[in-house]
Structure 1
């Protein structure tokens, strides 16, 4: 098996401020034809920002698609052409008012590979500076500190539902356990 699909054509459906939607005609490896619906997204960043007491910073914000307040790690969308590491530091500062001197790159996350090309860049840090948050004019959130081990329990009992945050909590907990963070 080659496990590949060849794009034969594309129909653009929608172009918005954040996403674009298209339908691609594809040829499967057995020669059969099919269609793939695709959401194109510029990607994003997310950071596990830890205090010296192994507390992790979270933000609570209303998420319209779910019609509920969601507990998440600080995160944000990449601007076109923006360096993910710089975006991570920007989002951390904007949402929590904190900074750090050193960061660990925790890799990439494909949140919805069945239909979306979004890639999230994950980072972790120890907070070294505190200041005021600098929220965007359309951003409303509350910052919360939660002990890392409590956050692991919240992932396991599904109190934390956000996928990127679940991954960051578990990776950060493992790194702290191994004394690498």
Structure 2
């Protein structure tokens, strides 16, 4: 492992700038490798999950949702933020069920991605789900989204054309492509408690 001590910054103090319903913004004072001090403003995030749901016919479960900062409807994989004390798989099961109505017989953890490393510590866990059973969605109050199915080829085309620009969905598409090619192998396991385990929430 390379020695990266010449790149590391040492935190000295922290000031809270904003604690809203969704965002928690702080300003850290740090000592840089050359001994000088600087400030770093960034968003603290509890972490999130993204679910790549595989239907028996080969299509994947997708969503269309309006994103206010972008002022546009975005095509995305189902995803959501971890609740306090919630495990990653439990969150994935809950989000898939709440947003799409699907529960899964098998789950596989694929990897992690850090979508905004310059201004947030958010990390998103990538999960695959298969053996899907459709039930009733349980959207949060004020949550509006369309659920649809797309072929992997359609998704790839949208990524290439720029219709899909959501970071996590682009990465998820890459994962899906490599898994389907057999280049990346997933550690599939039965859903704890069966296909309806997501209904228990946390």
After TM superposition, the score normalised by the length of structure 2 is: 0.86
Partners of 1:55 and 1:147 within 8 A in 2: yes
Which residue of 2 is the match for residue 131 of structure 1?
135
Partners of 2:54 and 2:132 within 8 A in 1: no
Secondary structure of 1:149's counterpart equals: helix
Alignment of 1:139-178 (within 5 A): 139-178=143-182
Secondary structure of 2:38's counterpart equals: strand
Which residue of 2 is the match for residue 104 of structure 1?
108
- Once residues 19 and 55 of structure 1 are traced to their aligned partners in structure 2, the CA distance between those partners, rounded to angstroms, is 34
Which residue of 2 is the match for residue 88 of structure 1?
92
- Once residues 135 and 68 of structure 2 are traced to their aligned partners in structure 1, the CA distance between those partners, rounded to angstroms, is 28
Pairwise CA distance, 1:104: 1.3
Deviations 1:17-76 (A, max 9, x none): 222111111101111111101111111111000111211111111100011111110011
Instruction: Give the gaps of 5 or more residues in structure 1.
Output: none
Pairwise CA distance, 1:172: 1.2
**Is residue 2:35 matched to residue 1:57?**
no
Partners of 2:53 and 2:132 within 8 A in 1: no
**Is residue 2:37 matched to residue 1:33?**
yes
- Once residues 138 and 55 of structure 2 are traced to their aligned partners in structure 1, the CA distance between those partners, rounded to angstroms, is 20
Which residue of 1 is the match for residue 196 of structure 2?
none
Which residue of 1 is the match for residue 71 of structure 2?
67
**How many residues align structurally?**
181
Q: CA RMSD in A?
A: 1.4
- Once residues 126 and 152 of structure 1 are traced to their aligned partners in structure 2, the CA distance between those partners, rounded to angstroms, is 20
Which residue of 1 is the match for residue 192 of structure 2?
none
After TM superposition, the score normalised by the length of structure 1 is: 0.95
Secondary structure of 2:53's counterpart equals: strand
Secondary structure of 2:105's counterpart equals: strand
Pairwise CA distance, 1:127: 3.5
- Once residues 143 and 107 of structure 2 are traced to their aligned partners in structure 1, the CA distance between those partners, rounded to angstroms, is 25
Instruction: Give the gaps of 5 or more residues in structure 2.
Output: 187-202
